[in-house]
Amino acid sequence: MTTLYTANTPNGQKITIALQELEMAYELRMVDLGAGEQRQAPFSDMSPNHKIPLLVDDGRPIFESGAILIHLADKAGRLLAADGAARGEALQWLFMQVGSVGPMLGQLWWFRHASGTRNEQALERYGREVARLYGVYEKRLAGRDWLAGDGYGVADIATFPWLAAHHEVGVDMAAFPAVARWLERIAARPATMRGLAQLKSPKE
């Protein structure tokens, strides 16, 4: 049995998209982050960093979205090459999202929307870095459909929900046409639509 504990955030969206793409059966359990459920048992006992998403697969808890994506892809034999240069290339782009894109866009979002005090220095710093990252992806995607050479896979799935939030962090997509086309391709996939729809409340 596979159970996904998650919420409607970019990191949570990655996993529902992947599960839908892989056509895997799973039970979905929403975690109320505002109520602090991520810090309460049984979730907190299984996820030592008290963050979503958390996947429990045949009794084995797996935390961190990148690790979950690798686990699912390896289990299904899809979305990530089993070995060799293609796997290494995909993992580099997956880890770039985990190590750079998520933290930088997350910080910019927080200073734009959640901080009670406007901090111009932080907005300038993170805004500049986010624009630089979009530029890296623009260069990568110019003339190609997907991030890694083995086709659509975990690197694309991991990165999509973050770069799709460009309107929330003030990024003008006119400067990044290749990224915009890539976002449109992923958004049009039926599995993406299903994965995102699962996490939306009736009010959204």
> Is residue 100 included in any domain, yes or no?
yes
Tally of CA atoms within 13 A in the half-sphere of 8 that contains its CB = 10
Does residue 45 sit in the same domain as residue 92?
Answer: no
Q: Residue 21 is encoded by which pair of tokens?
A: 């793409």
Does residue 102 sit in the same domain as residue 58?
Answer: no
As for how many domains the chain has, the answer is 2
pLDDT (tens digit, 9 = 90+) per residue, 19-35? Answer: 999 999 999 999 999 99
Pure H helices in 31-119: 43-46, 65-76, 84-96, 102-109
Range of the domain at 18: 2-78+192-198
Closest CA to 46 of 60, 36, 34, 32: 60
Is residue 201 very low, low, confident or very high in pLDDT (cuts 50, 70, 90)? low
Does residue 170 sit in the same domain as residue 125?
Answer: yes
Does residue 24 sit in the same domain as residue 88?
Answer: no
> How does DSSP classify residue 47?
-
The model's pTM is 0.95
Does residue 72 sit in the same domain as residue 117?
Answer: no
> Is residue 204 included in any domain, yes or no?
no
pLDDT (tens digit, 9 = 90+) per residue, 158-169? Answer: 999 999 999 999
pLDDT of residue 204: 47
Closest CA to 191 of 72, 30, 64: 72
> Is residue 203 included in any domain, yes or no?
no
66: CATH:
3.40.30.10
Q: Is the pLDDT of residue 12 over 90?
A: yes
